[in-house]
Structure 1
Amino acid sequence: MPEMNPNRKIIHIDMDAFFASVEQMDNPVLRGKPIAVGGAENRGVVAAASYEARKFGVRSAISGVLAKKHCPDLIFVRPRFDRYKEISNKIRTIFHEYTDLVEPLSLDEAYLDVTVNKKGNPSATLLAQEIRLRILNEVGLTASAGISINKFVAKIASDYNKPNGQKTVNPDEVIPFLEVLPIRKFYGVGKVTTEKMYQLGIFTGLELKSKSLEFLEKHFGKSGNFYYNVVRGIHNSEVKSDRITKSVAAEHTFDVNLSSEIFMMEQLEKIANSLEKRLKKHGIAGKTVTLKIKYSDFTQQTRSKTMPYFISDKGLIMETVKELLFQERMKDSVRLLGISLSNLNTEEKKTVVVQLKFAF
């Protein structure tokens, strides 16, 4: 069995309501008001909500219609992803002044391994404070941070003192911290798994820890091994500065359901065009084309085909997509279509990390 490694120093930085905060920073009229980045129309979805909106129960991934019911005064703002990416790049530049071991999870969060860092500072806690202050002074936004011996605990800790706060879980505090943690707050334990654990009498980390590996694997399959280890502070996944892109995708949700394959082909042409631009921009090609179909009853279907060679050209992608579309009859009208390319020509880059022991 692997063992807990108390010598690493991992920081998880998470920007506070990133998309919404950028909009409020750029437009002073929106400051202090409940705003949602996303669409207010029938098929619109909230991508991010300001803290003022969250007080009313507005959250990301809920429909714009439901969000408006929760908060009648909610202000909807169209997303500006180019602007968010611009700000994200400025923040990452700051990260790289401290360590080259930066693993972005999205535009608004990243892991930093500062076990050995460019500042020669043995305190990950002080480094996190300094990084957050620089983001505030140089970018104008607040960030929260979690600091611990591994990515799992650091990720959970970053959510503790949000917004604009941080929490350090020292090596000798990891086990007590996890034992009292509600199981619903374990990173990687979703709503369905939480309910299943409740049914098995598992409500806290301590109760999870009391279960044998055999018990957890019986009820949760391969994930059982993960739960068995993390509750014991064991999560030795490295911070990878070059995360491997496993797939590239583009999709679209329609205002009106589509029932004709002819109309679907028209939309798929547009989606394939967007996908091609992303592939060409990053010099990526792939062998497996997947067509994603979401029906009006919200059931989802995927159809895939693997080519004997790498492709990135829209024409070649559409040839395969057309074949997949007419592979079988549609069972209902369609509300979403998507195309993804996987089995890519990207290669993994391995980084050797020298880990030394310092005080937190």
Structure 2
Amino acid sequence: MTKILHADCDCFYAAVEMRDNPELRDIPIAVGGSAEGRGVIATCNYPARTFGIHSAMSSAQALRLCPHLTVIKPDFERYREVSAQIMAIFRELTEWVEPLSLDEAYLDISGVERFKGSGTWMAQWLKAEVLRRTGITVSIGVAPNKFLAKIASDWHKPDGLFVITPEQVDAFVAELGVDKLPGVGPATAQRLKQMNISDCTELGRCSLSILVDRFGKFGHRLYELSRGIDRRDVKVHRERKSISAENTFERDLTPAQVIAQELTPMVDKLAARIDRHGTPASSKIFIKLRFDDFTTTTLESSAMLPSITNFTELFERAWQRGQRPVRLVGVGIRLLDAEHSRQLALFGAPL
């Protein structure tokens, strides 16, 4: 019988800050960029959430909602260190761990015999150990598949534990709103509403042919999710698709200013990240621009070498698409997938 845990740290970045500075525990705080620098909120603690603040909100808007909000510049190196500690604890329970980000992961505990095989007891142990060793609270969902485990982990946040047994799946899913289904955003939810579908009971009455006709390939996914079906395995090894670095500027810049002031340090940062990942082979470089009107464009090149010369040329070509002041630039490389690398090696092509 398949048993999956989804573990999700509560307001992770903010939790690390509150752990290291207890004076922050009971006041509204957010981790993100400065309002003056047009920053955005990465996460916030629960006192801040009572003011309507949430991740991806601009820092300026967050401060309008809560003028006494404390905005803290993120320290990703410290967050990565804590994340590594937490993931190591997960792997003490099972080798089948699929990290999704620094603060969440799926664990397949189907073959684990500790705690008499009880998913509930395993989740309780994980929560206690992570809190004891790192000072971070984790919410955990236990279910027969990834889809339900992820929903369950959010059910009793913060510091939650929610279990969906195989016998409870049908009843639980039947009352689930379609907006809780992964992949169903506002646009898809609106289209379902127009079909008089608001929950999985109503969605489950739709035939597969109708859903595929209305939603294409995603219709098949909707058909299965409305029945509590999710066939995805926990993947221990996830192939990295790209390595990148980007920067949002404190003020809009002209093309000449970007080339003179920003591109070289960004390419240097990218090079450092590539080195940390073992200098992987790349199939192409890419650049991303966001203009002052918030339109965004991405341009790729078949150039293998992520050099300042190649990125400067690519930037100039990408800028022609908008020809406006620039507020954000990102640089990166797309990585060869494993099969592509294997084929190149077979035919003697240099990697």
Q: Which of 241, 257, 264 is the matching residue for 2:252?
A: 257
Q: Which of 192, 212, 223 is the matching residue for 1:197?
A: 192
Q: What does residue range 25-36 of structure 1 map to in structure 2 within 5 Å?
A: 25-36=19-30
Report how far residue 320 of structure 1 moved: 3.0
- Report the residue type matching 1:23 in the other structure: E
Report how far residue 118 of structure 1 moved: 6.0
Structure 1 50/125 Cα, relative in aligned 2: closer, same or farther at 3 Å? same
Deviation digits for residues 270-296 of structure 1 (CA, Å, limit 9, x no counterpart): 221111111110112311211111111
Q: What does residue range 272-283 of structure 1 map to in structure 2 within 5 Å?
A: 272-283=267-278
Q: Which of 337, 340, 343 is the matching residue for 2:329?
A: 337
Separation in structure 2 between the aligned mates of residue 170 and residue 162 of structure 1, nearest angstrom:
19
- Report the residue type matching 1:85 in the other structure: R
Deviation digits for residues 175-200 of structure 1 (CA, Å, limit 9, x no counterpart): 22112111112222222322222223
- Report the residue type matching 2:26 in the other structure: G
SS for the counterpart of 2:284 is strand
Does structure 1 residue 326 correspond to structure 2 residue 316? Answer: yes
| Identity across the alignment (%) | 40
The residue that corresponds to 1:293 in the other structure is 289
Given that 1:258 and 1:264 are in contact with CA atoms closer than 8 Å, whether structure 2 keeps it comes out as no
Deviation digits for residues 148-187 of structure 1 (CA, Å, limit 9, x no counterpart): 1111110011000000111111112112211211111222
What's the TM-score once normalised by structure 1's chain length?
Answer: 0.89
SS for the counterpart of 1:297 is coil
Query: Unpaired runs of 5+ in structure 2?
Result: 341-351
Q: Which of 84, 87, 96 is the matching residue for 1:101?
A: 96
- Report the residue type matching 2:336 in the other structure: L
The residue that corresponds to 1:12 in the other structure is 6
Given that 2:94 and 2:109 are in contact with CA atoms closer than 8 Å, whether structure 1 keeps it comes out as yes
Q: What does residue range 200-279 of structure 1 map to in structure 2 within 5 Å?
A: 200-264=195-259, 266-279=261-274
Structure 1 347/57 Cα, relative in aligned 2: closer, same or farther at 3 Å? farther
Separation in structure 2 between the aligned mates of residue 197 and residue 122 of structure 1, nearest angstrom:
39
- Report the residue type matching 1:16 in the other structure: D
Q: Which has the higher helix share?
A: 2
Separation in structure 2 between the aligned mates of residue 86 and residue 26 of structure 1, nearest angstrom:
13
Does structure 1 residue 139 correspond to structure 2 residue 131? Answer: no
Structure 1 10/136 Cα, relative in aligned 2: closer, same or farther at 3 Å? same
Separation in structure 2 between the aligned mates of residue 342 and residue 286 of structure 1, nearest angstrom:
6
Report how far residue 140 of structure 1 moved: 1.0
Given that 2:140 and 2:153 are in contact with CA atoms closer than 8 Å, whether structure 1 keeps it comes out as yes
Report how far residue 120 of structure 1 moved: 6.1
Query: Matched residue pairs, number?
Result: 336
Separation in structure 2 between the aligned mates of residue 340 and residue 219 of structure 1, nearest angstrom:
36
Given that 1:84 and 1:107 are in contact with CA atoms closer than 8 Å, whether structure 2 keeps it comes out as yes
What's the TM-score once normalised by structure 2's chain length?
Answer: 0.91
SS for the counterpart of 2:261 is helix
Given that 1:143 and 1:164 are in contact with CA atoms closer than 8 Å, whether structure 2 keeps it comes out as yes
Q: What does residue range 51-90 of structure 1 map to in structure 2 within 5 Å?
A: 51-90=46-85
Separation in structure 2 between the aligned mates of residue 125 and residue 73 of structure 1, nearest angstrom:
40
- Report the residue type matching 1:12 in the other structure: H
- Report the residue type matching 2:29 in the other structure: I
Report how far residue 326 of structure 1 moved: 2.6
Given that 1:16 and 1:162 are in contact with CA atoms closer than 8 Å, whether structure 2 keeps it comes out as yes
The residue that corresponds to 2:347 in the other structure is none
Separation in structure 1 between the aligned mates of residue 266 and residue 210 of structure 2, nearest angstrom:
45
Q: What does residue range 160-175 of structure 1 map to in structure 2 within 5 Å?
A: 160-175=155-170
Structure 1 291/98 Cα, relative in aligned 2: closer, same or farther at 3 Å? same
Report how far residue 268 of structure 1 moved: 2.1
The residue that corresponds to 1:49 in the other structure is 44
Report how far residue 347 of structure 1 moved: 7.1
Separation in structure 1 between the aligned mates of residue 13 and residue 214 of structure 2, nearest angstrom:
38
RMSD, matched Cα? 1.8
Structure 1 347/51 Cα, relative in aligned 2: closer, same or farther at 3 Å? farther
Separation in structure 2 between the aligned mates of residue 36 and residue 300 of structure 1, nearest angstrom:
27
Given that 1:46 and 1:62 are in contact with CA atoms closer than 8 Å, whether structure 2 keeps it comes out as yes
Query: Unpaired runs of 5+ in structure 1?
Result: 1-6, 349-360
SS for the counterpart of 1:303 is strand
SS for the counterpart of 1:233 is coil
